[in-house]
Structure 1
């Protein structure tokens, strides 16, 4: 029998997570999502589907291509004849991957192209730095959506895991999204995750990445944990399941860890 979601009884401050940028059919109603947060989108140099791209593009107010992400946007099936409708606010990186013809096209459309030669930062880090400059001018912090970063080359995936682990100290909300899954870092403490069942599931996981281990408790999952040690040397909650009809998951963790959920096809 599934364990129901039970509200936590402690007085610890609660972190609330939701993913309105994944709600189906919202983009078809308006050009922008009705949303509480402002979203920024960084497109990485990894494959993604047109439906997922459109969903995230419509949800975002600021968009940036990280180097070869410009190629992915330029070549994307279904928008080739309407590229002028999908112009990013910025292309930035060391530009060793973006094709010259692609950069030339966006330059003619007045899209800023910044060649950052710093070899101590990745293209993703360069784009986040650019977003921070925008936020300083606007006196606001966007919730950040990274399109890509959790598939392809293993070293690049590890960089995404590591970088978002560090960003938890600087930014309130950072999400990594691929066609297969969405994930983000839950910092030490208690979290309530609002579940969009039409977008997420059925599988999910709690991954102790970048830490020696954590003590983990959950409510609202098929296989819940109660003060359970979790580490790479011990138990890892992979292939857990969201519970149909249960719209919230509660997580308490003694150390930062990754939450990930399967993303249903658009």
Structure 2
């Protein structure tokens, strides 16, 4: 299985569609600024709407115009007219707010409803606001991939195309990936809850992928989940061989490392880590591989300290503070494990 966490930070945007899910946690503003530019859909889990509103208000960018052509097409129209992206006064409206609505402030709800943002109450007490949002994204994945926001993104990449509603604006990838903005630096119980839900929901996504031929499953459902916190991006590797693309990592020149354990072809083409400026890095070199539900046996390639058939478990040995040494790394495991990589300094929460 291949993972490409770098795709979300590329200036040209991700080659595949993704939704941005905002939890009721402190927002990594720097990451949000980059991620929101190319997201196909932005959804807030209940109190996540408070976080988004407060962040935008603090930046003087809270939306005041109703959702018609406002956010979704402003970039396109102005770009066609030759207005530079840096000259725009960018605002962000969520596409949907979902939850039991016990956390969203009445004033925030009223603000977004006036701007034609859909606010949906889901009273189910047996699921969290996180899982309610994920359920919605999976059931509407196909239409989200074809959504106006996605059309805007596809158009803004070239700056030459007119707004279109035909299939040429869609992205070839059949799965809607989901990037979750949350925090792991606050209460410990909430941090564990997020990791727990990331693990559980990743297994749900795998089941949806396996059932993708069923008429009951949206064609775009079952995409990968990525959790972005204050300083890291984390995701759950699956049983078997996992290839993780890690270009533009802030790591020492190859002459100063002990080798990646991969051949040049396996490691990927690169101009070398020193060829990037600080503003171009996606990751710092630090990573961790953490067993979650059971002890694991892992084999790695492309890190400073590679291992083979290495037993890891909570209460025993775990792999933390290892270092990326290639633009493509590998982790083979007999059970799902958490992989976490440190974001570049420019993408960390201020």
TM-score class normalised by the smaller sequence: 0.7 to 0.9
Is 1:20 the counterpart of 2:6 in the alignment? yes
- In the alignment, which of 101, 107, 128 is matched to residue 113 of structure 2? 107
Figure out how many residues of one structure are paired with residues of the other and give that number: 242
> TM-score, normalized by length of structure 1?
0.85
Is 1:250 the counterpart of 2:330 in the alignment? yes
Change (3 A) 1:122 1:69: same
Match of 1:176 in 2: 227
- In the alignment, which of 88, 92, 97 is matched to residue 86 of structure 1? 92
Q: How does 1:211-222 map onto structure 2 within 5 Å? A: 211=294, 213-222=295-304
Q: How does 1:6-17 map onto structure 2 within 5 Å? A: 15-17=1-3
Question: Is 186-195 or 170-179 further displaced after alignment?
Answer: 170-179
Equivalent-residue separation in structure 2 for 1:234 and 1:250 (angstroms): 22
Secondary structure of the corresponding residue to residue 80 of structure 1: coil
Secondary structure of the corresponding residue to residue 63 of structure 2: helix
Is 1:48 the counterpart of 2:131 in the alignment? no
Match of 2:45 in 1: 66
Match of 1:9 in 2: none
Match of 1:145 in 2: 179
Question: Is 216-225 or 130-139 further displaced after alignment?
Answer: 130-139
Change (3 A) 1:59 1:137: closer
If each structure's strand is expressed as a fraction of its own residues, which one has the higher value?
A: 1
- In the alignment, which of 5, 23, 36 is matched to residue 15 of structure 2? 36
Equivalent-residue separation in structure 1 for 2:114 and 2:297 (angstroms): 54
Match of 1:10 in 2: none
Deviation, structure 1 residue 264:
1.6
C-alpha deviations, 1:46-103, integer Å up to 9, x for none? 1124221111111311110111111111011564334253111101111121111000
Equivalent-residue separation in structure 1 for 2:177 and 2:18 (angstroms): 5
Secondary structure of the corresponding residue to residue 140 of structure 2: helix
If each structure's helix is expressed as a fraction of its own residues, which one has the higher value?
A: 2
C-alpha deviations, 1:11-39, integer Å up to 9, x for none? xxxx1111234435x1xxx6xx1x32101
Deviation, structure 1 residue 136:
5.1
Equivalent-residue separation in structure 1 for 2:144 and 2:5 (angstroms): 23
Match of 1:122 in 2: 128
Secondary structure of the corresponding residue to residue 345 of structure 2: coil
CA RMSD of aligned residues (A): 1.8
Extract unaligned runs of 5+ from structure 1.
Answer: 1-14
Match of 2:309 in 1: 227
Secondary structure of the corresponding residue to residue 159 of structure 1: helix
C-alpha deviations, 1:89-132, integer Å up to 9, x for none? 10111112111100000000100111212111111011111112
Higher relative contact order (CA 8 A, sep 6+): 1
Equivalent-residue separation in structure 2 for 1:103 and 1:167 (angstroms): 27
Q: Flag the structure with larger Rg.
A: 2
> TM-score, normalized by length of structure 2?
0.65
Question: Is 252-261 or 146-155 further displaced after alignment?
Answer: 146-155
Question: Is 199-208 or 136-145 further displaced after alignment?
Answer: 136-145
Match of 1:155 in 2: 189
